[in-house]
Structure 1
Amino acid sequence: MNLPTAHHPDRDWATGHCWCCAAENVPVLWIGPAQSQDHGTAPVYACAACVLRWEQLIAEHGARRDAPGREAHCA
């Protein structure tokens, strides 16, 4: 299988379903657990494009958090 190499090439990619964009049968990376009040926890997988978007969101959150005079908030 050709695995994405842009980000996290050393992590374990698998073929599966992207929980973020719903793409099927694509290389996906486990990005963490999700928790539901009614259904417990489940592993969340994302494709390369969605992993990149998560990386961007996390970087933006960190930049906002570290900016002087900024309140923490959910993005």
Structure 2
Amino acid sequence: MPMNFLRRIEDASFPLAIHTDADIQCAAVLAAAQLVEASLPEPGTGAGQGGVILRITPLGRAELKRMHAKDRNSDCEACSD
């Protein structure tokens, strides 16, 4: 899932090299949504080509912040039962 991938890379050092097809696909979705800036291989250019995530954009950081706040709120609701 692209959003799980975004969480996974949030504390990474950039630029971040990615190599697996799954990571490249997630990065492509995140780049299309303007949540990351990345240099990725063109679709259909063959397996084995890696990509580079240059940074998480401010929009991506805002989305991460929103996801963390949602997690904290759901944790609080679980404790109130």
Task: Name the TM tier (shorter chain).
Answer: 0.3 to 0.5
Higher helix share: 2
What TM-score results when the alignment is normalised by the length of structure 2?
A: 0.33
What TM-score results when the alignment is normalised by the length of structure 1?
A: 0.35
Q: Which has the higher contact order (CA 8 A, sep 6+)?
A: 2
